[in-house]
């Protein structure tokens, strides 16, 4: 295929995407040909490009591209407007599948040479898919002075429970590329503990390469037993021998003082002290339930 037939080659490229055939997509590229879009972090090719495609198809098994328009805009230059549609039935960015539908418009600017596609640059709004999957899109600085900004996650039991101990962990990932693997290990560890009645809650934060977790437990013995098993055991091995972190610190804290729970009454507005998960408003007697904080 040469630059005398760029439209036919580009249509082969799009059809290979629609058929979920990574080898066929790569076959349309010239030696050294690259692909990039807002999520790739720069141009990719070969195995990296194939892995990127497989990740999309795993997250969206019914992924398809509706071609809106494919036009030749110059010698060896083609623009292809498309809509990506599908349903999130596989893990996406380390998150469990939501089952939600996505409909993303975009355009590819394609350069065609004598030996195939030399460059494919995809343009789309990278915030559209997260919003359609009901994910929050937060734009914030990485750091300002002594303040570092990031994201957090919280897991709580349906009913408020006072923990006996809190386990604290803080580590610094060895590089930006290791932050997501550490987060994945942490998330999988929590998922494995959801059926453990001694596991009472979990809070995590990520700011840059610094990752911090606090987990609540019914006893120190239960905590120790859980941390020697499953994904957490694998995470410990990768911490000491796998190079995922520059260093870290752990500690376990027992309660020194446990204060009462307070709840504002929705009927009369009185802030009421609750010494149990349920109680009555001190102002009007309405039934109140403690917040699971």
Q: Where are the domains of the chain?
A: 6-132, 143-254, 259-293
The angle formed by the CA atoms of residues 188, 189 and 195, to the nearest 5 degrees, is 100
Residue 168's contacts (CB-CB under 8 Å, 6 or more residues apart) are 212, 213, 214, 249, 250, 251, 252, 253
143-254: in CATH 3.40.630.10: no
Report the pLDDT value the prediction gives residue 15, as an integer from 0 to 100: 95
Copy the structure tokens of residue 19: 């058929």
CATH number assigned to the domain covering 6-132: 3.10.450.50
**Each residue's pLDDT tens digit in the chain (293 positions)?**
444 589 999 999 999 999 999 999 999 999 999 999 998 889 999 999 999 999 999 999 999 999 999 999 998 999 999 999 999 998 887 677 889 999 999 999 999 999 999 999 999 988 888 888 887 767 788 888 888 888 888 998 877 888 999 999 999 999 988 998 898 899 889 989 999 999 999 999 999 999 999 999 999 999 999 999 999 999 999 999 989 999 999 999 998 888 889 999 999 999 999 988 899 999 999 999 998 75
How many Å apart are CA 279 and CA 249, to the nearest integer?
40
How many CB atoms within 10 Å of residue 37?
17
d(CA 279, CA 262): 10
């Amino acid at each position: 295929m040469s630059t005398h037939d760029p439209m036919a080659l580009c249509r082969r490229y799009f059809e290979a995407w629609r058929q979920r055939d990574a080898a066929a997509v790569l076959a349309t590229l010239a030696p050294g040909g690259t692909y990039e879009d807002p999520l790739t972090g720069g141009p990719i090719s070969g195995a990296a490009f194939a892995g990127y495609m497989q990740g999309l198809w795993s997250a969206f098994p019914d992924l398809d591209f509706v071609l809106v328009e494919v036009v030749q805009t110059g010698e060896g230059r083609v623009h292809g407007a498309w809509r990506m549609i599908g349903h999130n039935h596989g893990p996406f960015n380390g998150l469990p599948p939501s089952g939600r539908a996505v409909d993303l418009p975009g355009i590819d600017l394609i350069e065609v040479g004598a030996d195939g596609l030399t460059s494919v640059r995809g343009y789309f709004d990278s915030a559209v898919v997260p919003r359609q999957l009901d994910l929050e899109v937060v734009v914030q600085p990485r750091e300002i002075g002594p303040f570092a900004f990031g994201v957090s996650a919280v897991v709580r039991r349906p009913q408020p429970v006072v923990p006996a101990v809190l386990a604290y962990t803080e580590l610094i990932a060895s590089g930006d590329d290791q932050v997501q693997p550490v987060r994945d290990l942490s998330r999988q560890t929590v998922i494995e503990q959801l059926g453990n009645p001694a596991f009472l809650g979990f809070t995590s934060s990520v700011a840059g390469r610094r990752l911090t977790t606090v987990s609540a437990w019914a006893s120190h013995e239960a905590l120790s037993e859980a941390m020697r098993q499953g994904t957490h055991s694998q995470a410990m091995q990768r911490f000491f021998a796998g190079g995922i972190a520059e260093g870290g610190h752990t500690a376990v804290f027992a309660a020194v003082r446990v204060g009462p729970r307070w709840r504002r009454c929705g009927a009369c507005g009185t802030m009421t002290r609750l010494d149990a998960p349920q109680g009555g408003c001190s102002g009007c007697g309405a039934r109140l339930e403690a917040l699971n904080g």
